[in-house]
Structure 1
């Protein structure tokens, strides 16, 4: 089977490249650009191929994804391929050696923002869906391709809309087309995010009276205390990465003459099996209470919850990881399993008990940085690996 899939992937490569290049030339930076052009471009490609698709919307009615559905002749679960159509910002455009929206091929690399994350994967998944749609008699279940335009905002609106569009109970697993050919990401640390509201007493900076409750000073002490907190080491045979606490925001003050009475501190905690959300909240709560006891203020420090996702981890033999490893091996790629430090859509899907791989794709450079590009020489083998995995997952069971 793999030889046929490799042959098809080589034949598809010019079309995949052309679609990905067109998408790259349409800027779709998360929270910055209008997504309509990139959504319309995909729809224009899908329509003449008679692929069933629809837009998904958030509760406010804004389009957040395109969902393609290929249903087999026999009943079975839903398997998801996911790639985002929105991108990271361009950053300093003067630092790029080519336009962030170049969408061209140079020395075998497809160049421009989104080439790696993840417009090339989106184009590849569209072609896999088109190929699979020609064989409904060989399929038991449904292939759903989710193309998200609300991923880089951190809202993950497309994935959330998928949970509203398809009963999560029917989804057996998902594969996200993040780049990198050497590893299949089978897990990720969870995340617990809070904003701490630290209070003080307002006053004039030039006053002759002492001010013992400057919100900035109190918040600075809390930041130091949080950064000094000891965190547990990885559990034996558990997550290979330790938990992590990072201060990511600090806001306070207005000019030079006013002593601030409020400061906001953002805290990002990466969770593992050694530190869960309850433990993380307790650590932050104790540090805040200690600050309030040692350096009193008119109001106690308040903890505002922002986001909480659990860690997740698949075993290499769990589906769909097993199918993707098998597809990669058949295509001649020796990929190793990896648990990622950052969180991803897989953490969100894990809350619905959906097993997810979150990274296997083309070799890349400049991800979220300068001169983003992917190496197209690996395109046929990566596409064949995913195609092989999809056919295995949707194969009728006797």
Structure 2
């Protein structure tokens, strides 16, 4: 193929990726707010029009939680998965946006709108990569799955859970998650242990002559002890660069002015590491709770209910699929570093199932989860080409 023809074909692919991303952005799909049918309908129409095999995923209750694309090669081998969410964060204060959150317009080289960065552009890119492979199954081994999740921003990760529970789906050798940002490939993340804590105490009148230690006072004491609890720092010998972190994220109780409440509900988020895991987190929290119950006694003890728990994870740079992305990106001259992230991601869920994952390596962005979300399109050709080469290397076992 002549160079000008090859360039024209490449330009057409980039235009098609952007066009699909624009359509997706124009379908509001805020997690837990909007109907996901329209945004998934855009994807289904595109995939069907390009003869890419796909099917819907449902959770245990029958709710629609995503699409799964499956493209099989003609030769046996491991399967690899590309994952991108097409639900989004909420809009926030729309009066502060300088363009409509569901814009989808292009301005000064930026794709505008909620989901442009996280992660509708990545979803459009991954659909095109799948279509490219579907047209030539004789050229690769194993297979490619593309998970298009619409239950990610709720924190439920329903699409990923449905994929992992699907007996028809081939278990992947690894997953590449399509988050934005060109400087890093996330190869690990802290885990989490989350709990709902309920603090009890006798109720009473705020004007009573009798001294009453209410639930708010007991809960405040508990929060102070949790905030000052001693946590270990990073353990250099473990190879994991971050230490654990404990944060009280919600505190609810009381009403009006004259009643001393008998209950306060607290949400607690603990970010865990390989050396300070969920067991250590729960042990520490229950110890602090026992201390408060002994110091400020009450007929009903404080309860601690685990809400979620994921392990920390970290891949070495020579482990797949991290190695494929990092090798190809660095070979193009990009200064890309491997990063262990403070927040968790679907990689933590996958780690629980023994599936290695990376997150990141996408286009530069602004306003992710905030005001005026946008994604830069100037770097899209490089990001696409690096994903394509890394994927081909994985599918031929390079």
Report the TM-score range of the alignment, normalised by the length of the smaller protein.
over 0.9
- Secondary structure in structure 1 of the residue aligned to 2:378: helix
Which residue of structure 2 aligns with residue 117 of structure 1?
118
- Secondary structure in structure 2 of the residue aligned to 1:54: strand
Which residue of structure 1 aligns with residue 264 of structure 2?
263
* 1:243-322 equivalences in 2 (<5 Å): 243-322=244-323
CA contact (8 A) 2:59 2:65 kept: yes
Mapped partners of 2:254, 2:357: distance in 1: 43
Q: Deviations over 1:63-90 (max 9, x none)?
A: 1010000000011222000000000011
Which residue of structure 2 aligns with residue 215 of structure 1?
215
Which residue of structure 2 aligns with residue 171 of structure 1?
172
Which residue of structure 2 aligns with residue 104 of structure 1?
105
Mapped partners of 2:162, 2:341: distance in 1: 24
Mapped partners of 1:171, 1:267: distance in 2: 33
Q: Larger deviation: 324-333 or 171-180? A: 324-333
CA contact (8 A) 1:6 1:384 kept: no
* 1:186-225 equivalences in 2 (<5 Å): 186-212=187-213, 214-225=214-225
Which residue of structure 2 aligns with residue 233 of structure 1?
233
**Pairwise CA distance, 1:332:** 4.1
**Pairwise CA distance, 1:327:** 2.5
Which residue of structure 2 aligns with residue 374 of structure 1?
375
* 1:295-374 equivalences in 2 (<5 Å): 295-374=296-375
Which residue of structure 1 aligns with residue 79 of structure 2?
78
Mapped partners of 2:31, 2:234: distance in 1: 34
Distance 1:351 1:6, change over 3 A: farther
CA contact (8 A) 1:320 1:356 kept: yes
TM-score between the two structures when normalised by the length of structure 1: 0.96
Distance 1:219 1:151, change over 3 A: same
Q: Deviations over 1:336-377 (max 9, x none)?
A: 100111000000000010000011100000010111111101
CA contact (8 A) 2:77 2:141 kept: yes
Distance 1:81 1:170, change over 3 A: same
Q: Deviations over 1:320-344 (max 9, x none)?
A: 0111112223444331100111000
Distance 1:166 1:182, change over 3 A: farther
Distance 1:138 1:396, change over 3 A: farther
CA contact (8 A) 1:9 1:383 kept: no
* 1:60-71 equivalences in 2 (<5 Å): 60-71=61-72
Distance 1:337 1:170, change over 3 A: same
CA contact (8 A) 2:164 2:171 kept: no
Which residue of structure 2 aligns with residue 94 of structure 1?
95
Which residue of structure 2 aligns with residue 42 of structure 1?
43
CA contact (8 A) 1:327 1:384 kept: no
Mapped partners of 1:347, 1:218: distance in 2: 34
Distance 1:275 1:169, change over 3 A: farther
Distance 1:146 1:51, change over 3 A: same
Count residues in correspondence.
394
Which residue of structure 2 aligns with residue 158 of structure 1?
159
TM-score between the two structures when normalised by the length of structure 2: 0.96
Q: Provide structure 1 residue ranges, at least 5 long, that are not aligned to the other structure.
A: none
